[in-house]
Amino acid sequence: MSNELESLRERIEVINDEILALLQERGSLAKKIGEEKRKQGTQVYDPQREKEMLNHLIDNNKGPYNDNTIKQLFKEIFKASTDLQKSENEKHLYVSRKLKPEDTIVQFDNGAIIGNNKKTFVFGPCSVESQEQVDTVAKDLADRGEKFIRGGAFKPRTSPYDFQGLGEEGLKILKNSKDKYGLNVVSEIVNPAHFEMADEYLDVFQIGARNMQNFELLKEAGKTNKPILLKRGLSATIEEFIYAAEYIHSKGNNNIILCERGIRTYETATRNTLDISAVPILKQGTHLPVMVDVTHSTGRKDIMLPCAKAALAVGADGVMAEVHPDPSVALSDAGQQMDLNEFDSFHKEIVQAAKLYEK
Ligand SMILES: C=C(O[C@@H]1C=C(C(=O)O)C=C[C@H]1O)C(=O)O
């Protein structure tokens, strides 16, 4: 190396150390400012102050870095200062495992649990169609020792001409069945004004994929004290999914169950693409239980079982799937619901598989 290059680099290293020492001093001052702000009850982030400082710096900028570069560099420094000023609690989301390392366990009156290294199943018809239909499935589930049933009464369908669900009448049917068979009832709510009405019928309010970013619905769900089963949006990133859960938690409801249900990709072999990697990512990043809906993710009965096993193997707390006494006449999703025979073999196998993973 030439002597000239070497000596220039040595000077740069000295400057690095000087910048570091100045950043340390600046950081300590920012922390003190943060403490003052806390005493005064003012916000950590002060955009007006940052703007004034940036204007001053740009006025004094003589190059060689252009104004925009100087702006970006100092914005990073300001951001680092505001992060320093925030308490640990303010740095992390409520749903984050960093804030709460232990798993959230959702508990029910009939002894059922979602989370806590138990594998829990939620089965039932896509739509509530009649008392007889729900009772047939509920009896089958109760006989198997299952603790939950699902069924849609408010159906957000792609086409407005498709069956839209029985509404409150459907919730009453579910509640009747719950009273007969002692199962917890999971059903979707699509209207923020309906939580109150649905409270007497349901044990879990589901927020469906199409409503994952319906923020008014999420906020209302957060004000209830029932568990919320939140499904991942069709095209939602994992980060967006986590923020949707944060909307619920931030309003005071921490009983949230996340559900991966497949995302839209270019692949046409399945109805959606089951994002199996989302399960361990959500388990790592949040303290919430995570379930996998193998019906909506695959849309294919022939691969539901291996996908359900995969879900349990990667750490899912449970699996959801659709079961209908007579799928051929179902008013929604006729092609992908299991009949009771198909369900019998699916259930036997998945219960066996669950034993491998329950601690
Ligand atoms: C340090 C402060 O807090 C924040 C950080 C700033 C900085 O690093 O200079 C400026 C404004 C605030 O967003 C302050 O208010 O002065």
Q: How far is ligand 1, taken at its centre, from the CA of residue 58, in Å?
A: 17
One fold for both 3-91 and 106-357?
no
Architecture of domain 106-357: Alpha-Beta Barrel (3.20)
d(C-alpha 137, C-alpha 120), whole Å = 17
The one-letter amino acid code at 193 reads: A
d(C-alpha 245, C-alpha 233), whole Å = 12
Single pTM value for the model = 0.83
Query: Span 3-91: which CATH code?
Result: 1.20.59.10
Q: Which residue has the tokens 């252009």?
A: 66
**Which residue puts its alpha carbon closest to atom 10 of ligand 1?**
50
CA distances (Å), origin 147, targets 65, 150, 185 = 65, 11, 9
DSSP tag of 199: T
Nearest CA to 148 among 17, 257, 41?
A: 257
Nearest CA to 230 among 210, 252, 216, 250?
A: 210
Domain positions in the chain are 3-91, 106-357
Helix or strand or coil: residue 170?
Answer: helix
81 CB under 6 A from ligand 1?
A: yes
Query: pLDDT tens digits for the chain (359 residues)?
Result: 689 999 999 999 999 999 999 999 999 999 999 999 888 988 889 999 999 999 999 999 999 999 999 999 999 999 999 999 887 667 789 999 999 999 999 999 988 999 988 999 999 999 999 999 999 999 999 999 999 999 999 988 889 889 899 999 999 999 999 999 999 999 999 999 999 999 999 999 999 999 999 999 999 999 999 999 999 999 999 999 999 999 999 999 999 999 999 999 999 999 999 999 999 999 999 999 999 999 999 999 999 999 999 999 999 999 999 999 999 989 888 889 999 999 999 999 999 999 999 87
Q: C-alpha dihedral over 178, 180, 183, 186, to 10 degrees?
A: -20
Q: How far is ligand 1, taken at its centre, from the CA of residue 14, in Å?
A: 27
Q: 48 pairs with which residues across the strands? A: none
Residue of 78, 83, 84, 90 with the most ligand 1 atoms within 8 Å of its CB, for mutation: 78
Residue 30 tokens read as 């920012």
Residue 314 tokens read as 């990667």
